[in-house]
Amino acid sequence: MQAHDPRASSTLSVYFRLLGYVRPYVGLFAVSIGGYGVFASSQPMLAAVLKYFVDGLIDPGGAEILGLRMMHAVPLMIVLIAVWQGLGAYFGGYFMARMSLGIVRDLRQALFDSLLRLPNPAPMAVFITWTLLSGRARTSARCALRKKGNWVEDHTLSLPSGVYSATD
């Protein structure tokens, strides 16, 4: 009998907790998977067109596709397949990137909200938050903490030199 591994259940619980952040972006995820499906469908199409190309090499006079001679049809179909493949790759990558940026933004927002709820935020917690936030988010964080009590403007200049200043 094998003993139950507690790490596997904790890893699975962490995975499902993080998967919860994908829930608001299910539509973007579906379009992305569809785009990658379109991209993947172009590979068998290319193999089928190359079959006609090889048949045309064997019997150059008798091969036709949709009423077009092989000399015109094969390059046209290869170009159309390349466009189909490009559209699939674009939609797959674009919507996956939008989803991932949204998830990262949500994670940062959850972290920042939890740090704002602390009774007395320590300088290290603010420093960690500052390093995770991008420029625009850092500006809004400065405004939110200013509302809480002018704490940021007193302590951002005391961060290690060359890391972040109050003006970035």
pLDDT for position 70: 73
Query: Strand ranges (DSSP E) for the chain?
Result: 64-65, 68-69
Indicate if the pLDDT at residue 122 is higher than 50: yes
Indicate if the pLDDT at residue 144 is higher than 50: yes
- Say whether 69 sits in a helix, a strand or coil: strand
Please provide the DSSP assignment of 140-158 as one string: HHHHHHHHHHSHHHHHGGG
| pLDDT band for position 41 (cuts 50, 70, 90) | very high
pLDDT for position 140: 57
Rounded Cα gap, residues 76 and 48, in angstroms: 14
Mean pLDDT over residues 38-60, rounded?
84
Amino acid, res. 67? G
Which residues are CB-neighbours of 82 under 8 A, at least 6 positions away? 42
Question: What is the token pair recorded at 109?
Answer: 């927002």
Mean pLDDT over residues 119-134, rounded?
57
pLDDT for position 160: 42
| pLDDT band for position 8 (cuts 50, 70, 90) | low
* Residue 20: DSSP 8-state: G
Which residues are CB-neighbours of 64 under 8 A, at least 6 positions away? 70, 73
**pLDDT tens per residue, range 56-90:** 777 766 666 667 777 777 888 899 999 999 999 99
> Which pairs with CB-CB distance under 8 Å and at least 24 residues apart come from 142-150?
142/166, 144/112, 144/116, 145/116, 148/116
**pLDDT tens per residue, range 145-159:** 554 444 444 344 333
Residue pair 78/29 in contact (Cβ under 8 Å)? The answer is no
Indicate if the pLDDT at residue 136 is higher than 70: no
Mean pLDDT over residues 46-59, rounded?
80
pLDDT for position 83: 96
